[in-house]
Amino acid sequence: MTRSVTWRRLALSLSMLVLLAACGTGGEPDTDDAEPDVDDTEDVDEDADDPDGEDADDADGEDAIDDEDTELSGEITFTTLQLSPDFDEYLEGVIADFEAEHPEVEVQWTDLPFEGAQERLLADASAGTLADVVNLNPDLAFPLASEGEFVDLDDAGADVRDDYVEGAWDSFRYPGMDGAYGYPWYLSTEVTMYNTALLEEAGLDADDAPETFDELFDTARAVAENTDARGMHPALENRFVIDLVKLGVDITDEDATQATFNTPEAVAHVEELVSLYEDGAVSPDAVTEGHRQEIEAYQAGNIALFPSGPNFLNIIEENAPDIAETTQAAPQIEGPAGVTGMSVMGLMVPESTENPDAAHAFAQYMTNEENQLAFAEETLIFPSIVAALEDPMFTEPDEDGDFAEAISVAAAQLPDAANLRPVVVDDEVNNAIISNVQSAMLGDMTPEDALADAEDEVDAILERRTE
């Protein structure tokens, strides 16, 4: 039983991993009590600016509900990504509540396992049979969105837009297109988790977590030199492109027609990776490994630093309680670009829907403050509603210890976070880039040549796509 739960959790986390993008710390996230106060003040200010603010809000809400009450009817279909069976109860509850509010509407929910989801959605889209509300992340939605499959929510969702975290809303904007195409749903954001025991063994101050790339690499080297463990795992497939963005490198031009990542900053970063590899600060196997092996290595105590979503703490605690015990969380590693990354899940409404009113109402309902807070109670994810992130659940988490720390660190950095992984970097583009970086790390190519080759390969892919 426990094992199957663990595996399901792992599967869930792996699926969340796909949406795990992003890094860079937007300033010092104030994890302490200062922030909620500030935010509270802002709320008050907003209300003050808007005389009778509350009433106005209510009125908006009533209008919407009135519309819905009188007009919403019929059946809508809803697909989610890898949320069943873990969250059956929660999702069925929200659906039941929605149906209770709108007795004429019936919601048919289907969950798609992450594996094969894209294939299925592409087939549905080309057959014109997408669900009325579709759960996707920005990357998975990109091919469909760029074919105009989804409704622009800058228009259709204008009245609720300001409720959402701006960076999350913007993560559904696509190169060469106007508009935003997804209601942000649940979020995750990378924090720097680290093994305090290993840091101490390496003679470092365990409370002084690395905050910049230089500090991260120095810590990794110190751990490798002074302990039996490695410092970190590069998880190229998952992190390389995002790290470049944090370092201020543009992956492509604005229209995503040409690669632009072969810059001195990028070369310096690859050189750094090569030297970490040569110094033994990363494992020799790491070159072809991804995030899965990174989690394994951290759980086994083989690496000291683990920048990743706090949702992985669940897995660590279950599989390696002693490591979880010694784990602390610090804000995301910051690059010169000063941006913080996050991963976003969203709900899209396809143009092909025959019941747009009910579809939008349901998508907004699913992602509203109350329902997202309830979702966050279920698991370690974060709501995309600004007000929900100010809930004491995040600002002053009850739990003692590291989860609480990770939760407040993550929640504090989310309002200013963005989806840093350019949507154009799908598996094929990512593979073209990291394949060459792998060669550089193995010393088969110079960093300059690797990046030049990678850029050529990406250019070829982009050219094919814009043909």
Partner 1 sequence: MIGRRWYTPWLFLAPSLVLLGVFMWWPVLNTSVLAFTDTHTLRGGGFVGLDNFRTLLQDSFFWNALGNSALFTVLVTPALMVLPLLLAILVSAKLKGMTFFRVVFFSPVVASMVVAALIWGWLLRSDGLLNFVLERLHLINEPVRWLSDPSLVMISVALVTTWKGLGYYMVIYIAGLQNIPEDLYEAAAIDGAGPLRRFWSITVPLIRPTMLLVGTLVTLNAIKVFTEAFVLTGGGPNRASETLVLYIYQRGFSGLELGYSSAMSLVLFLVVLGLTLLSQAATRRRANP
Q: Which residues bind partner 1 (CB under 8 A)?
A: 118-119, 122, 125-126, 143-144, 147, 149, 237, 283-290, 293, 302, 426-428, 431, 434-436, 438-439, 441-442, 444, 461, 464-465
Q: Which is nearer to partner 1, 189 or 353 (CB)?
A: 353
Q: Which is nearer to partner 1, 158 or 442 (CB)?
A: 442
**Smallest separation, CB 432 to partner 1 (Å):** 9
Q: Which is nearer to partner 1, 242 or 410 (CB)?
A: 242
**Smallest separation, CB 15 to partner 1 (Å):** 15
Distance, CA of 437 to CA of 435 (rounded, Å): 5
**Smallest separation, CB 54 to partner 1 (Å):** 45
CB atoms within 10 A of CB 6: 14
Token couple for 88: 């059956």
Q: Which is nearer to partner 1, 286 or 418 (CB)?
A: 286
Q: Which is nearer to partner 1, 56 or 300 (CB)?
A: 300
Q: Which is nearer to partner 1, 313 or 458 (CB)?
A: 458
Please name the residue that has the structure tokens 């009188």: 70
**Smallest separation, CB 361 to partner 1 (Å):** 28
**Smallest separation, CB 439 to partner 1 (Å):** 4
**Smallest separation, CB 128 to partner 1 (Å):** 11
**Smallest separation, CB 139 to partner 1 (Å):** 10
Q: Which of 132, 276, 159 is nearest to 217 (CA)?
A: 276
Q: What are the φ/ψ torsions at residue 78 (nearest 5 degrees)?
A: -140, 125
**Smallest separation, CB 350 to partner 1 (Å):** 12
Query: Which residues have CB under 8 Å from 246's CB, separation 6+?
Result: 23, 24, 213, 333, 334, 335, 336, 337, 339, 341, 420
**Smallest separation, CB 242 to partner 1 (Å):** 18
Residues forming beta bridges with residue 212, ordered by sequence position:
334
Q: What are the φ/ψ torsions at residue 426 (nearest 5 degrees)?
A: -90, -170
The amino acid present at 196, given as its one-letter code, is T
Do 343 and 21 form a contact (C-beta atoms < 8 A)? Answer: yes
> Taking each helix axis from N to C terminus, what angle separates 447-466 and 264-279, rounded to the nearest 10 degrees?
130
Q: Which is nearer to partner 1, 27 or 148 (CB)?
A: 148
Q: Which is nearer to partner 1, 190 or 237 (CB)?
A: 237
**Smallest separation, CB 88 to partner 1 (Å):** 25
Q: Which is nearer to partner 1, 187 or 235 (CB)?
A: 235
Q: Which is nearer to partner 1, 388 or 441 (CB)?
A: 441
Distance, CA of 48 to CA of 411 (rounded, Å): 26
**Smallest separation, CB 123 to partner 1 (Å):** 8
Q: Which is nearer to partner 1, 84 or 293 (CB)?
A: 293
**Smallest separation, CB 10 to partner 1 (Å):** 11
Token couple for 36: 């909620």
Q: Which is nearer to partner 1, 367 or 436 (CB)?
A: 436
Token couple for 21: 């993008």
